[in-house]
Structure 1
Amino acid sequence: MFEAIQEVLVALWYQDFNALLTPGSATLIYVIVAVLIALESGFLPAAPFPCDSVVVLVGTLSAVGVLSPYIAFPLLIFAAAFGSWMAFLQGRWLNRLPLVQSWLAKVPEKNMKTVDKLLCHHGLVALFCARFIPAVRSVLPMMMGMRVGEAPKFQYFSWLSATLWVFLLAGLGFMLPALPEPISRAVTMGLMAAPVITLCIAISTAIIWRVKKAIQTLKQPPTSA
């Protein structure tokens, strides 16, 4: 059993389509994919998991008959929404810690109000966009757990954004077998590279923002005693 799980994990990691076509592997694929999506959506250390490409692969496996789209798609949506809920609960728990409260106390009130406004009024768009960035996928729900008091509103944002995310990526994967092989291969490579590119952009943006803030702090004249 352990060897079968290991083989499916390796095949998913390396996108080994032929290995996943093995008869009887469908149940393991369902379970492993759901666990991967839930972990990557809910816990920051799981960010390196290639979940975007896995969702696309599930769509392709559904198109060729290995998986059932009526099982795979709802399962992916549930796993993504459940993972976000776990991240949200982590934010609620972290917000009670004195150390985290001391960090938040150092942020200007004006900035915190801006964050609250963005999360409350643009939560759906924020969660949907965050699902395409590996690390942010779990960090943003955690922030919403700290700042958004209405859990039902978060659940609405989470489930709807998870549904859009799954149907977009898995739907693309579902259409890949119908495309000519060169186009299908190019699209697959682009989809696999997209999460890495978006993560690099997010990290670069954060670094640039920190550098600019540090430069502005250095340019400020010293306050007289």
Structure 2
Amino acid sequence: MDLMQFIDMILHVDKTLGTLLAQYGTYVYIVLFAIVFSETGLVLFFFLPGDTLLFIAGAFCATGQMHFPLLMALLITAAVTGNTLNYAIGRAIGHRVFTHDYRWINKSALRRTHDFFEKHGGKTIIVARFVPVVRSFAPLVAGVSDMTLARFQLFNVTGAVLWVASLVTAGYLFGNVPIVKEHLTEIVLVGISAAMVPLAIGGLYKFGRRMLGR
């Protein structure tokens, strides 16, 4: 297998995890750790498949092909350390990230995440775990915004545990149900939308209060 084929398999891990397991065995744990770490720790890799990876990995745990507690521990560790690296990069770069042209940073996604962060504060680190792209930029913005490390890690660890545990467990319980396997992408999108509903309601509530107060 050449490099391009391997990269394609990684980008479509929801369909190729079985093949990866057959070819690489326990080394797949390292691959999954690297994917989650890179998606959360390096904004350059915001396109990696985080949510579907967790769900499908949980489904393979249910079939006995992967070890559930080991997978959970590794992926939580990857999510926590990835975000910590991203936060450290944000602290190091500082506010230059908004004024300099860094090729490896998507300015549009960065701005959206910054606005999201300004509205919702520290809990963005938790909620962002369930929102693709925002998940990759939130810890960077937290570092740029000078959030204290202790406060960041509180939200970081909480978000990592909730994200990994909920999706891996959901995959373990439902990932091998035929209708779920056939409509995985749609189900993940619905789950993401559900995670956003509380924030949307909160935003509308605050907007309504401001309007009534005028």
Provide the TM-score with structure 2 as the length reference: 0.70
What displacement does 1:32 show? 0.8
- Aligned-residue CA RMSD (Å): 3.2
Distance 1:194 1:51, change over 3 A: farther
Aligned to 2:172: 174
Letter in 2 for 1:58: A
Partner SS state of residue 26, structure 2: helix
Letter in 2 for 1:189: T
Aligned to 2:136: 138
Aligned to 1:42: 41
Partner SS state of residue 16, structure 1: helix
What displacement does 1:35 show? 0.7
Distance 1:176 1:6, change over 3 A: farther
Residues 58 and 169 of structure 2 are in contact (CA less than 8 Å); yes or no, is this contact kept in structure 1?
Answer: yes
Please say which of residues 88-97 and 26-35 is displaced more in the overlay: 88-97
Partner SS state of residue 65, structure 2: coil
Aligned to 2:152: 154
What displacement does 1:34 show? 0.6
Distance 1:74 1:133, change over 3 A: same
Distance 1:78 1:5, change over 3 A: farther
The count of residues paired between Structure 1 and Structure 2 equals 178
Distance 1:194 1:44, change over 3 A: farther
Aligned to 1:190: 186
Please say which of residues 9-18 and 170-179 is displaced more in the overlay: 9-18
For 2:65 and 2:4, how far apart are their aligned partners in 1?
19
Can you give the 5+ residue segments of structure 2 that lack an aligned partner in the other structure?
101-113, 197-214
Aligned to 1:31: 30
Distance 1:38 1:183, change over 3 A: closer
For 2:78 and 2:138, how far apart are their aligned partners in 1?
17
What displacement does 1:33 show? 0.8
Distance 1:116 1:176, change over 3 A: closer
Letter in 1 for 2:136: S
Distance 1:88 1:190, change over 3 A: same
Q: Deviations over 1:77-112 (max 9, x none)?
A: 1111111111111110111759759xxxxxxxxxx9
Matched, 1:81 2:77: no
Distance 1:70 1:7, change over 3 A: farther
Letter in 2 for 1:59: G
The structure with more radius of gyration: 1
Can you give the 5+ residue segments of structure 1 that lack an aligned partner in the other structure?
102-111, 202-225
Residues 41 and 84 of structure 1 are in contact (CA less than 8 Å); yes or no, is this contact kept in structure 2?
Answer: yes
For 2:56 and 2:146, how far apart are their aligned partners in 1?
34
